[in-house]
Copies of this chain bind each other. A is one copy, B any other.
Amino acid sequence: MSEKISSKDNHLVKKMTKLMNSPKARAESGLFAAEGIRLCRDAVLSGAGIRCFFYTETAAVRHPAEKAEIEVAAENSFEISEEVCRKIADTQTPQGFFCMIEQGQMRLSDPLRKGCRYAALERIQDPSNLGTILRTAEALGVDGILLSADCCDIYSPKVVRGSMGAVFRLPFMICDDFTAYIRQCGQCGIQTYASTPRDAEDLQQCDFSNGGIMLIGNEGNGLCEETLNVCTHRVRIPMKGRAESLNASAAAAILMFQLMCG
């Protein structure tokens, strides 16, 4: 029998709430929170270190097999009251399963490998965009993701959820000096493709047969000038419509598809 937590003042409940809401708490602890049956199972299947598993009685009764499976993988398991569940939850209608998980299992190996295909994201700000980009990258078979340190937190609940668990499976790396890292990759013979509407080659004309890194910039401003200048190539998505830029996750889908299949 696992211990039951009914108080919102329990220290683990407070810790989970912080992990849900505070990027700082996540960075300092090296932990993050996942919510929902599917994500908690994804954590188990990917071999992530699960410090704690929390479940409501209702959820346990409804999903006994999943509950048992997660319980076996988790270091500790706790039944929680509905009130505690609502306190922790980031969603409106929580399913009643939560995990406290160790970060950093899927680090991208450095240096990058020639011939592989990567996406690099500079200052993506919207967690929905980041989540969708990770999901798309995984589906298309991208080998790994580079993130500038000023992207939104990859471990935020919205990103984790929007990624459909890709955050557990897709190797990634957060670059403290993004521009310098991209420059260095170029110097080592890895092709680096800046996506930008100006002075660029049409995407479908590019040869991606040697692999490389596709760079995708901030939602409003694109890639910064310094980063643009260190890339070995510039590519653009041909736009025939109004001078309206694509949504970042739609642009990323097209760019990564061409990198993988073009």
Interface residues of A (CB under 8 A from B): 132, 135-142, 164-166, 169, 202-204, 237-242, 244-247, 249-254, 257, 260-262
- Which B residues touch A247, using CB under 8 A? 132, 135-136, 249
In the assembled complex, the CB of A15 is this many whole angstroms from the nearest CB of chain B, namely 29
Bound complex: CA of A140 vs CA of B246, how far in Å? 9
- The answer to whether B204 and A244 touch across the interface, beta carbons within 8 angstroms, is no
- The answer to whether A139 and B254 touch across the interface, beta carbons within 8 angstroms, is no
13 pairs of residues in contact across A and B, judged by CB atoms under 8 Å:
A135-B244, A135-B246, A135-B247, A135-B250, A136-B246, A138-B241, A138-B242, A140-B239, A140-B240, A140-B241, A142-B241, A237-B257, A254-B254
Of A141, A247, A261, chain B has the most CB atoms within 10 Å of the CB of A247
Bound complex: CA of A251 vs CA of B135, how far in Å? 11
- The answer to whether A250 and B136 touch across the interface, beta carbons within 8 angstroms, is yes
- The answer to whether B239 and A139 touch across the interface, beta carbons within 8 angstroms, is yes
Q: Which residue of B lies closest to A128 (CB)?
A: B128
In the assembled complex, the CB of A201 is this many whole angstroms from the nearest CB of chain B, namely 13
- Which B residues touch A253, using CB under 8 A? 246, 250-251, 253-254
- The answer to whether A139 and B242 touch across the interface, beta carbons within 8 angstroms, is yes
- The answer to whether A261 and B203 touch across the interface, beta carbons within 8 angstroms, is yes
- Which B residues touch A165, using CB under 8 A? 244
Q: Which residue of B lies closest to A204 (CB)?
A: B261
Identify the 5 closest CB pairs spanning chains A and B, nearest first. Answer: A141-B240, A250-B253, A138-B241, A253-B253, A254-B257
- The answer to whether A132 and B250 touch across the interface, beta carbons within 8 angstroms, is yes
In the assembled complex, the CB of A246 is this many whole angstroms from the nearest CB of chain B, namely 5
- Which B residues touch A240, using CB under 8 A? 140-141, 260
Bound complex: CA of A204 vs CA of B164, how far in Å? 26
- The answer to whether B164 and A244 touch across the interface, beta carbons within 8 angstroms, is yes
Of A132, A165, A257, chain B has the most CB atoms within 10 Å of the CB of A257
Q: Which residue of B lies closest to A252 (CB)?
A: B250
- Which B residues touch A136, using CB under 8 A? 246-247, 250
Q: Which residue of B lies closest to A141 (CB)?
A: B240
- Which B residues touch A257, using CB under 8 A? 237, 254, 257
In the assembled complex, the CB of A216 is this many whole angstroms from the nearest CB of chain B, namely 13
- The answer to whether B246 and A139 touch across the interface, beta carbons within 8 angstroms, is yes
Bound complex: CA of A187 vs CA of B259, how far in Å? 36
- Which B residues touch A261, using CB under 8 A? 202-204, 238
